[in-house]
A and B are shown apart, each in its own frame.
Chain A
Amino acid sequence: MTKAAPWTVFFCLALWAATEVRQRRVADADAMYQAALLAHRRGELALADEAMGDALRLAPDNACYLAYRGLLRHRMAGATDAAGMVGTGAGAATRGGASADREKLRAAADSYEAALRLSPEDGLFHHNLGWLYFLLGDRERALAHLEGAAASRLRDPVYHVSLGIVRERCGEPDAAARDYAEAVALSPGVLGSDFFHQLRGRDARMAEAAVAAAVAGLEAELKATADPVAKARLGGICLDSDPGRAFTLLREAVEALPNLPRAWGNLGLLHGRKGDFAGMEACFRRAHFLDGDDPQTLLGMAEAYEAKGEGREAARCRLRAEAHGSRSHSAHAGRLTTLYRGVRRMEDDDMIPQGIWSYCAPAKMKPKFEAGD
């Protein structure tokens, strides 16, 4: 061992001890965060806010904690949920903001501003802050942050839907249609959501324009790249309007890239519509193998089993679909532990306005949940 070696050991022990001491503080902050999550789930929002105050005193530089405090304050403000804000006619969103506690909304916005100073690229923070500014009546800042969210690499269709809703409210229908088209092209499942259903009822031309723009965009992408994912998405959009084309596109997509669960699920649906229940079951089985947590796939399997007269298996699939559906979470919540180390998942619904994630998701599951089936 050279002369340097004992110093290496000393440095090693000192560094390890220092990080362990700091780790105690991080663990204490995490314990307070856990307490806040527990209180939130019990509906004790004031207690949760207090616990988050303690967590932030121990870890003031944690963007995730700041964002969670912002979310809590928004929930405490009593703003209307997503469906209520968007679906009840023009000006509903502003009314939703007016009925809320503006002081709390302002405090929530301050928390998100602080979180964004620490993590300036986070799409969800921009998205939530955009909605908070919209509720506070600051449309310019709202649009700026929602555009920031839509530009984020996270590519969540909900960000585009939110931007479209706010633009629609600001009297920019063409721009709104483009944002909706982006959302549909990213996730054709949006077409089956409550949001799109209400959009069709509210402005059928805008809805059709959004679908047409999404199809045109994906067709242009296909001409340039022949990307199987683009084929699968286009097939998903054409599922109801042009089943023959959808079948061809989906078939080509899964032949080129056989690990696309949603494409297999959509192909299963088309087989079912043709009365080919064996083909339907085979497709859903593959989709289930690839993504065992997708409630839509489980429901498809249940339908296939029902067609075969296997009621018990069908019931089991439905139960599992409901269990997975009730645990569904936003895209950001699913990535939280990758983005922010040491932070456990916060609320599954971490978006503002409340419920916008499920509002933009395929609505097939909802009636059964509400009935407590």
Chain B
Amino acid sequence: MARIDALHSWAGRLSAPLLCLAVFCRCAVRGDAAGLNLPLAALMAGCLALATVSGRGVARRDGAAAESGAMGVALAILAGVEVVSHLRSPYQPNSFFALREAASLLLLFCFARSLLGDAAARRRLYLWMTGFGAVWAGADALRCLRSLAELRALGVGDLTAFKQYFSYGSWTTQALLLLPYPLGLLAGEAGSASPPPRDVGARRRIAPEVVAMAPPALVAVALMVGTVYSFSRGAYAALAFFLLLAGAGHAACRRAPARGPALACAAACLLALAATPVMRSVLGTASLLSTASQVRSFTARQRLLAGALQTAARVPAFGVGGGNYPLVAMAGEGVAGAGGDYVPTPLNRFAATAVEKGVAGLAAHVGALALFFSVSLRKLARGRGGCGGAPCGAAALIPLVAAVAAAVVHQMSYYPAHGDEGAAALEWVAYAVAASLPVGDGGDGGRR
């Protein structure tokens, strides 16, 4: 038993970096690298099996057992629908990749759910994910600056028609889903701050708190500014939705917005406003239909969506199989882009799911999302925050819920062919983290 305990403790320490590495790989590797790297996945599967067999899954010990179990069952059903969709698929080599991806996502969820229940593990995950966000934002900033310099040298004033040189659509979704981690750390730090004493040593005690809040605040701002620099209407709508939902969530929970997140949001807005060289392009993007490029893009999306819905009405209950939309789109009946060109995706997450996985897949998909929101809202309804430094409580749950909702909003207007592996991984990890977050009287139950 002592050995199992030691192994479990070792696995617990490894869990956050492993999870972060797995998500990073899925975000960084594009194309056909569906699923997880085999040694990494095998290690995660081993840790998960160990936690389950030893009965030490930390989720067992937290208070929100029934809800998190339901989330797991909903996601398992989603993977089960993928199995049936694959077995009935007219072209299985493509749908096999979708099935493998679903298996990897379920593994990620179960791994995160089983091993990230306690405050220390959760804090480690938040730190790692914030670091990942910093790397992501840094890489994006470099790309933005290079493109900006090149376009300026070419004498281009309006950057909206060149948005693909600033940011990929998938990046925006991933940035939105990375936002809750620095914000969660900020909320934790803000919650942990004891009221500063009024003696002479007060200044010395406040300084470490400010220093600890600076890196996550910077990462959050960088991710938001990166989203502003995408010059994508869908990204702007998603970011606005995120800010609105997070604000409303805080208001509904009768909490004053945490100082950190509020500062980060304000700084992001100020930076965006201060970025006068691109102000014209930002306003152009926000004006929705002011350029020929925007009108073409909007018309094409409308046509694609209508075509995908027509196709979805014709496909069987389990769809044409994951990853087969590009093959169906070649037929061309009603799935043309702006100029009637071939577009291998309907650019809408739900339309793609409806065609590829049918009514059953869409129902499972929407059901899982609905369950996530309902479980989170129920938690928030009885929640209270403040966990002394560890991300927990309503203050950490609200950004997660807002981020998943914002990502869904963004994926209504941008969804790549074969889906977005990185965003899907981040979303399923968010499900697990939200299920693990203790909200309610007792908070973390003194397990810190």
A-B contacts at CB below 8 angstroms, number: 171
In the complex, what distance in Å separates the CA atom of A17 from the CA atom of B113?
19
Would you give the shortest CB distance from A153 to chain B, in whole angstroms?
3
Stretch from B100-108, B203-211, B248-256, B385-393 that touches the partner: B100-108
Q: Which residues of A contact B292 (CB under 8 A)?
A: 228, 256-257
> What are some 14 contacts across the A-B interface (CB < 8 A)?
A16-B41, A23-B35, A61-B92, A62-B93, A64-B93, A121-B331, A152-B332, A153-B335, A153-B336, A155-B340, A257-B296, A286-B156, A338-B344, A341-B32
In contact, A155 and B342 (Cβ under 8 angstroms): yes
B76: which of A12, A59, A153, A335 is its contact (CB, 8 Å)? A12
In the complex, what distance in Å separates the CA atom of A210 from the CA atom of B326?
32
In contact, A341 and B48 (Cβ under 8 angstroms): no
In the complex, what distance in Å separates the CA atom of A255 from the CA atom of B340?
22
Q: Is the interface of B mostly helix, strand, loop or mixed?
A: helix
> Is B316 part of the binding interface, using a Cβ–Cβ cutoff of 8 Å?
no
Stretch from A3-11, A38-46, A78-86, A299-307 that touches the partner: A3-11
In contact, A13 and B418 (Cβ under 8 angstroms): no
Given known A1-B59, A12-B106, contact A118–B91 (CB-CB < 8 A): yes
In contact, A59 and B93 (Cβ under 8 angstroms): yes
Given known A2-B65, A22-B96, A229-B339, contact A9–B293 (CB-CB < 8 A): no
In the complex, what distance in Å separates the CA atom of A88 from the CA atom of B375?
73
In the complex, what distance in Å separates the CA atom of A340 from the CA atom of B327?
8
> Is A311 part of the binding interface, using a Cβ–Cβ cutoff of 8 Å?
no
Across the two chains, which residue of chain A brings its CB closest to B114? Answer: A9
Please report which residues of chain A, range 30-83, place their CB below 8 angstroms from some CB of chain B when the two chains form the complex: 59, 61-64
Chain A window 315-331, contacts with chain B (Cβ cutoff 8 Å), 1 for yes, 0 for no: 00000000000000000
Chain A residues in the interface with B (C-beta under 8 A): 1-13, 15-20, 22-23, 26, 59, 61-64, 118-119, 121-123, 151-155, 227-230, 256-259, 282, 285-286, 289, 335, 337-343
A13: which of B49, B60, B97 is its contact (CB, 8 Å)? B49
In contact, A5 and B57 (Cβ under 8 angstroms): yes
> Is B125 part of the binding interface, using a Cβ–Cβ cutoff of 8 Å?
no
Q: Which residues of B contact A10 (CB under 8 A)?
A: 52
In the complex, what distance in Å separates the CA atom of A155 from the CA atom of B332?
10
Across the two chains, which residue of chain B brings its CB closest to A124? Answer: B330
B110: which of A9, A64, A285 is its contact (CB, 8 Å)? A9
In contact, B103 and A12 (Cβ under 8 angstroms): yes
List 3 A-B pairs, minimum CB-CB distance, nearest first.
Answer: A153-B332, A2-B69, A256-B292
Across the two chains, which residue of chain A brings its CB closest to B75? Answer: A8
Q: Which residues of B contact A59 (CB under 8 A)?
A: 93
Q: Which of A10, A18, A289 has the most CB of B within 10 A?
A: A289
In the complex, what distance in Å separates the CA atom of A9 from the CA atom of B432?
13
In contact, B103 and A16 (Cβ under 8 angstroms): yes
Q: Is the interface of A mostly helix, strand, loop or mixed?
A: helix
In contact, A339 and B100 (Cβ under 8 angstroms): no
In contact, B344 and A61 (Cβ under 8 angstroms): no
In contact, A122 and B327 (Cβ under 8 angstroms): yes
Q: Which residues of B contact A335 (CB under 8 A)?
A: 342, 344
> Is B329 part of the binding interface, using a Cβ–Cβ cutoff of 8 Å?
yes
Q: Which residues of B contact A285 (CB under 8 A)?
A: 154
> Is B141 part of the binding interface, using a Cβ–Cβ cutoff of 8 Å?
no
In the complex, what distance in Å separates the CA atom of A325 from the CA atom of B386?
62
In the complex, what distance in Å separates the CA atom of A8 from the CA atom of B68?
11
Given known A1-B60, A15-B83, A339-B326, contact A259–B293 (CB-CB < 8 A): yes
In the complex, what distance in Å separates the CA atom of A64 from the CA atom of B93?
10
Q: Which residues of A contact B49 (CB under 8 A)?
A: 9, 13
Q: Which residues of B contact A229 (CB under 8 A)?
A: 338-339
- Extra 11 A-B pairs, beta carbons < 8 Å, given A5-B57, A9-B110, A62-B93: A1-B69, A5-B68, A5-B113, A9-B114, A13-B45, A15-B103, A153-B335, A340-B93, A340-B94, A341-B32, A342-B97
In contact, A154 and B96 (Cβ under 8 angstroms): no
> Is B341 part of the binding interface, using a Cβ–Cβ cutoff of 8 Å?
yes
Across the two chains, which residue of chain A brings its CB closest to B86? Answer: A19
In the complex, what distance in Å separates the CA atom of A286 from the CA atom of B104?
42
Q: Which residues of A contact B339 (CB under 8 A)?
A: 227, 229-230
Chain B window 44-68, contacts with chain A (Cβ cutoff 8 Å), 1 for yes, 0 for no: 0100110010000101100001101
Q: Which residues of A contact B296 (CB under 8 A)?
A: 227-228, 257
In contact, B69 and A341 (Cβ under 8 angstroms): no
In contact, B342 and A5 (Cβ under 8 angstroms): no
Q: Which residues of B contact A118 (CB under 8 A)?
A: 90-91
Q: Which of B60, B154, B155, B336 has the most CB of A within 10 A?
A: B154
Q: Which of A19, A61, A340 has the most CB of B within 10 A?
A: A19
Given known A153-B336, A338-B344, contact A123–B93 (CB-CB < 8 A): no
> Is B120 part of the binding interface, using a Cβ–Cβ cutoff of 8 Å?
no
B155: which of A282, A338, A342 is its contact (CB, 8 Å)? A282
Would you give the shortest CB distance from B28 to chain A, in whole angstroms?
17
Q: Which residues of A contact B341 (CB under 8 A)?
A: 153, 155
Across the two chains, which residue of chain A brings its CB closest to B307? Answer: A153
Given known A23-B35, A62-B93, A258-B156, contact A4–B73 (CB-CB < 8 A): yes
In contact, A341 and B293 (Cβ under 8 angstroms): no
Please report which residues of chain B, range 9-58, place their CB below 8 angstroms from some CB of chain A when the two chains form the complex: 31-32, 34-35, 38, 41, 45, 48-49, 52, 57
In contact, B69 and A153 (Cβ under 8 angstroms): no
In contact, B327 and A119 (Cβ under 8 angstroms): yes
Please report which residues of chain B, range 66-83, place their CB below 8 angstroms from some CB of chain A when the two chains form the complex: 66, 68-70, 72-73, 75-76, 79-80, 83
In contact, A5 and B72 (Cβ under 8 angstroms): yes
In contact, A123 and B330 (Cβ under 8 angstroms): yes
Would you give the shortest CB distance from B21 to chain A, in whole angstroms?
17
In contact, A341 and B97 (Cβ under 8 angstroms): yes
Given known A15-B83, A19-B35, contact A338–B326 (CB-CB < 8 A): yes
B104: which of A16, A22, A153 is its contact (CB, 8 Å)? A16
Q: Which residues of B contact A259 (CB under 8 A)?
A: 161-162, 293
Given known A4-B69, A257-B293, contact A13–B93 (CB-CB < 8 A): no
Q: Which residues of B contact A123 (CB under 8 A)?
A: 330
Across the two chains, which residue of chain A brings its CB closest to B51? Answer: A9
Would you give the shortest CB distance from A180 to chain B, in whole angstroms?
19
Given known A119-B91, A153-B331, contact A337–B31 (CB-CB < 8 A): yes
In the complex, what distance in Å separates the CA atom of A335 from the CA atom of B345?
13
> Is B417 part of the binding interface, using a Cβ–Cβ cutoff of 8 Å?
yes
Would you give the shortest CB distance from A215 to chain B, in whole angstroms?
17
Would you give the shortest CB distance from A11 to chain B, in whole angstroms?
5
In contact, A16 and B106 (Cβ under 8 angstroms): yes
Chain B window 97-133, contacts with chain A (Cβ cutoff 8 Å), 1 for yes, 0 for no: 1011011101101100110000000000000000000
